[in-house]
Amino acid sequence: MIGRITLQLALLLIFAPLPLGVINKTKALFAGRVGPPLLQPYYDLARLWRKGFVISRTTTWVFLAGPVVGLVVPLLAALLLPFGGLTAPISFTGDLILFVYLFGLSRFFTAAAALDTGSSFEGMGAAREVTFSCLAEPTLLFSLLVLASGAKSLNLGALFGPQLAGQWQNGNSASLGLIFVALFVVLLVENSRIPFDDPNTHLELTMVHEVMVLDHSGPALGMILYGAAMKLMVLSAMLVRIAVPAQTGSLLFDLLIFLAGLLMLAVLIGIVESTMARLQLPRIPQVLVGTTLLSIFALILVLR
């Protein structure tokens, strides 16, 4: 138990920033640039950690709680989810609800921290972020329900367990395909990627997520970035597991398959970001409603 928890957390802590580097490298290659080194996100984190704090006098403890919760939540969530062929360290019936709302909690604190600064820009960013994730949440839940009704269980460990490979073979492959698409969109929304948000933009009016963390600096900013990277990895883990449900039995091979899948997904995100433009703001809810409908549709396919 303890061993598994340690292994899972170590995996997460060590590998989380790597996909970001891969994404940036892919984008650079598409643009014909050399791009930053693969390990650049690690360097950034290290640099931020060495810097000092600047905290506005108008803020309260909530301002600091944001980054802390943002860092802790992905760690907790990761314990509920099997990474690749590994089994989930903690598992109980109904933990998929906890999984979904852990991210809700982190979003609440991030938004609260943004509002705590009293800046109108950050308020605007918080409003947009909350709106989008509120629309993305049903997709996530319905997709998990699709998996749950296939697995006949409400427990994340079983949902992403060995039975997943069997589901691709029997009639459920259609709905699995659908929720893969739906969850990929959720991944892009939740992690503020193009075409929903641009992690690199620095123009206040166009920012969604970035504007919320504008006032954080030094280690606090580092925690936020690290937390975001881990969130990306946790959500990616679901997608990788759905796409590659193979299980070799050997711990090392399972791990390698998982990591390879993670990097492939990062490349995929990079390709999407390089080939698509950002969506017009009013179009985003339309797309999210579309993915929600898609996931409900997948559920109907499974249940019928």
Partner 1 sequence: MANLLLLIVILINFYTLGSARLVACIRGVALQGALLALLPLATHGPTGHALFLGAGALLLKGIFIPLLLLRTIRQVRIRREVEPFIGFVPTLILGFLVTAGAFIFADFLPLAYEHHEGLYVPTSLATMFSGFLILITRRKAITQVLGYLMLENGIFIFGILLSAAIPLMVEAGILLDLLVGVFVMGIILNQINREFSSLNTDRLTALKE
**Please, which residue, 120 or 170, has the CB nearer to partner 1?**
170
Gyration radius (Cα) of the chain, Å: 19
Least distance (Å) between residue 288 CB and partner 1: 10
Interacting residue with partner 1 among 178, 235, 244, 302 (CB under 8 A)? 178
CA 77/CA 82 separation, integer angstroms:
10
Q: How many residues bind partner 1 (CB under 8 A)?
A: 19
Q: Does 290 bind partner 1 (CB under 8 A)?
A: yes
CA 298/CA 26 separation, integer angstroms:
31
Least distance (Å) between residue 286 CB and partner 1: 5
Interacting residue with partner 1 among 225, 230, 294, 302 (CB under 8 A)? 294
Least distance (Å) between residue 298 CB and partner 1: 10
- The alpha carbon dihedral of 106, 75, 42, 189 has a sign of negative
Cα–Cα–Cα angle for 150, 152, 155, rounded to 5 degrees: 105
Stretch that binds partner 1, among 66-74, 167-175, 237-245, 257-265 (CB under 8 A): 167-175
Least distance (Å) between residue 304 CB and partner 1: 6
Q: Does 173 bind partner 1 (CB under 8 A)?
A: yes
Least distance (Å) between residue 205 CB and partner 1: 22
Residue 193: which of 106, 290, 269, 275 has the closest Cα? 269
Q: Say which residue the tokens 């014909």 belong to.
A: 32
Q: Does 174 bind partner 1 (CB under 8 A)?
A: yes
Interacting residue with partner 1 among 13, 65, 214, 293 (CB under 8 A)? 293
Crossing angle, helix 120-151 and helix 95-116, to 10 degrees?
A: 180
Show the DSSP H helices in 16-119 as ranges.
17-31, 40-50, 61-80, 95-116
Cα–Cα–Cα angle for 243, 247, 253, rounded to 5 degrees: 105
Give the interface with partner 1 as residue ranges (CB under 8 A).
Answer: 171, 173-174, 177-178, 181, 283, 285-287, 289-290, 293-294, 296-297, 300-301, 304
